[in-house]
A and B are shown apart, each in its own frame.
Chain A
Amino acid sequence: MTKLQTLPAASGSSPRKDGKSPRRRESPGSLAFSRSARIKGLVKHAILIIVGAVMIYPLLWMVVSSLRPNDLIFREPGLWLESLEMSNYTDGWSALTHPFGHYMINSAIVVLGSILGNLISCSMAAYAFARLQFSGKKIFFGIMLLTIMLPFHVVIVPQYILFSQIGWVNTFWPLIVPKLLATDAFFVFLMVQFIRGIPKDLDEAARIDGAGHPRIFLRVILPLMVPALATTTIFTFIWTWNDFFGALIYLTDPDMFTVPVALRAFVDSQSATSWGSLFAMSIVSLLPVFLVFLFGQRFLIKGIATTGIK
């Protein structure tokens, strides 16, 4: 606080020379001010539009290129299309052992399992941390926060050994079971934060009516924390859909490939002439994430902002 308190005091002690500068806004000369503000606004918009265009251009170009004949991809930096070439999509769809839809279904299974796992296990843990008093709570809560920051690589080797001994390599279990066990502590924390914001009076009222913790959790807390559940669902969807490392390690059988490992197999197998179909399948793989972004960004942005600050 010191810095902030000294600032007004320090500058306030020196007498203003003209005495009118802080009032410039209300003075009749406000025309000059609004003009400079408008120029400032224009400059801001110009900066944002340029930065935004540079950022988004590669993505747009990939979409356009996926609709072009192959040889143009390495010659045409522009965005105009002379004809629509759908062959990249049909070729790419059937370029691997299985049609690309097979990998998308695999990904969808892992994604659904992970979402379900995170929703159930993380909300349960969050309820305990946010509402219940129990011995060892502080220590466990501290451990939970620390695991958010634990590098995945420290546990991956023994996890792999464990799952391979159970015979789970080339199944989806190693990717789903950890979510059923609330190992994505980030979401536990997100939900704890959310539950803390729900008035305790509601729990108390339910308790007076004779409800136990399972009832309070299911009937009072869960319905009220739908926004947090939505955020969890959306983030889990995107992270699991994009997850490459886990799938790379556990899924080596092309039957079981999820989209990221299938794409990787495509990159490795492709000859220099099939960039078009590679792009096409990349677009297909990004489409679900893009749709989720389009319809769920409210929750995404809120989720990031709330776990980031309050």
Chain B
Amino acid sequence: MTGRIRAFVLLTAVAALVFVTPTAARASQFLSAEIEAALSKRDDFLKKLDVPTGKLPFIEQWLQKNAGDGGFKGRLEALRGGSPWYRYANGVISEGDGRERFFGEAVKTAAADPGTLWLLALEFIRGGHTQYADECFDALEMYILAVGGSSAPLLSQQLILFGNTIAASDSAAAEYCYTASKRFDKNQCWWLYRKGAVGFPDNTGNMLAAFPDFIAEALGLLATSWRAQTALIYWAYRFFAATLFIFVCALFAVFIVKYLPRGVHPIGDTLFVGASPNIRTAASVVILLAMLMAGVVPTLWLIAFLICRFMNASEKKLLILACAILTLSPLGFFADSFLSRGIRPDSPAVLLERSIREGYSVGLYNLVRTNLTKRPGNHATELALAICATKSENYGANSDAVNKALDLAPDDPLALLYAGNHAFLTNDISGMKQYYGTALKNNPGSAEAKFNLAQAYANDVDFTASDMISEAAKINASLVGGHMRVNARYFQDDVPPLRRIIQPALTPLYFWSRLFMADPAEMIRFNESKTYFGLSPIAAFGASVVSMLVFLGLYSAMWKHDSKIRKYFSCRICGRLLCRKCRKGTICSVCYKKSIDSHNNAATMYNLQKAYQDKATLRRDFTRFVLGIVIPGAGTLYKGEALFKPAITVLITSAVFAACYCAITFHSYFPSAAVVDPIYCIPVLLLYNIAAFFKQCFGLAKTMKNRAKMSIKSK
């Protein structure tokens, strides 16, 4: 592998990594309803203070500005009560200890309302009171853990966006937001990127310093997140498919430029007998290219059929390769949907993970229920419903769903663990022993099963639960230790039921072994509504195969024999393609006319021939130059002296273009403002073309110089 190719592969890998991670870092609706409700409460409160809520000013500044206003004080006093906003407003207009007391009370009063905690946290950040924002975040985290969740991607996304909006005016506060965003969603690495980008472009060093950490974080995410892995594979496939398609188009572009004027000769003979050869060729090419409006692929098929007989053996091999790719192209739909189905928002895997990681939300519960009607036999969706029901304390629904999941997949470790969890929550000791025991029997290395099983023996005198917990900690110290530390920090002795047991996570191993290949028929169902040039993908694939066979059949029937190929010959003056149908002589009508004008003088004929040859050489050089710039490598392919090396260069070019295409068409569930916009990668990717442009210019200048020298010598 040469250095250039290695560098290219490395760059591609980094680009791919950067492209896929946003797809993995998807936000959710968890806590959205609570924030909406808190917004209504806040707006009500502010309205009563006469704060213009239609176009909200910075609340702290507005309160301080109006602190001396008697009317304002009266309105504020009228709102005295248990509202956290009342305490917050008083804190803003107070000084010293009074402020600290009111702010502390505001956080405490809002402890049971995550939405208000969130809004207060943002106001504290804006006002520079980050210690109170920390308190709010602690309370929020506690709430999330208490309801059985472990993350709130929505808050993480909101913090990044909020950081963006204040980065220009208060970079310290923005950095605080980015750091805090990690706290609510460890499955994203954009906090690091945004933190590095604070002050960019004035502070480029900061960004460069953060870049290695960002890559390390992204790689770590890739190693631990099945969603990042699936996204990487999916985008790698998209990149590969786009590369192949562009490669095919590039090959066709070269062959079209080289052979299409000859290929359309029969069309010209049929339709434009009276026209001059140039017009005849141009009109025929226009007609053929107009077919592109009806579809790219059918037109490429037709072009392949028309031009193949003029190619040499090596070029034919490339054309056959291109046609084979075209034949398989309709199957791309299946590959696309097969790879993307795992990361689609309504996929069972995504729903299952959301139900595990997030607390209960009505939106998620309804989504799971809707999904279950579409996929009635899917154990992952049943399990997701069971987990949602557990978190909503609807143990009846949980029981039904988890039993169905176990019926569908009796040895599924997650289903067993959640069945055990359900038994724990309903005080079913024997159920706990049964499910956790089976899970442990199937996988003795499961720390979660061992830890949770220990809870079943907590009141059992014959067995020491603490011994089991120690064994679990030996198996996975970070998991068990982390779980207990968090419990100790937030809950001390009053640990909520959902925190007494470890919620098992959806690991990459579980995803790839249990979910990725599940329900392959879904792929067909998913593609039922999709069409490929008006046909279903399978019908389009069949049509492509038939087209290929017809093409081969027609080729062997019409043009395989040399005698038929020889019907065509070149004008002996200008080299234009002729056939017995369009001219009887050995020169085309244009040269014939000119030869008549020259009274058959041999010197004039010679000059004519030389002029045509010079013009043709110049045209070939210019075409090669343009092709070499637009599609690096295509110029050499057009020349036709060697095929393998230029074909590889064209493939690399196609990969560059495909990367640009992927960058342009890429969009994630994260707002663009929060992530790297891959569109900025395009100029970097196109450096390859710029280098090719200069190379072609130098090449052309050298050719011209050599030709001028030879011309002087011959004189």
Q: Do A and B come from one complex?
A: no
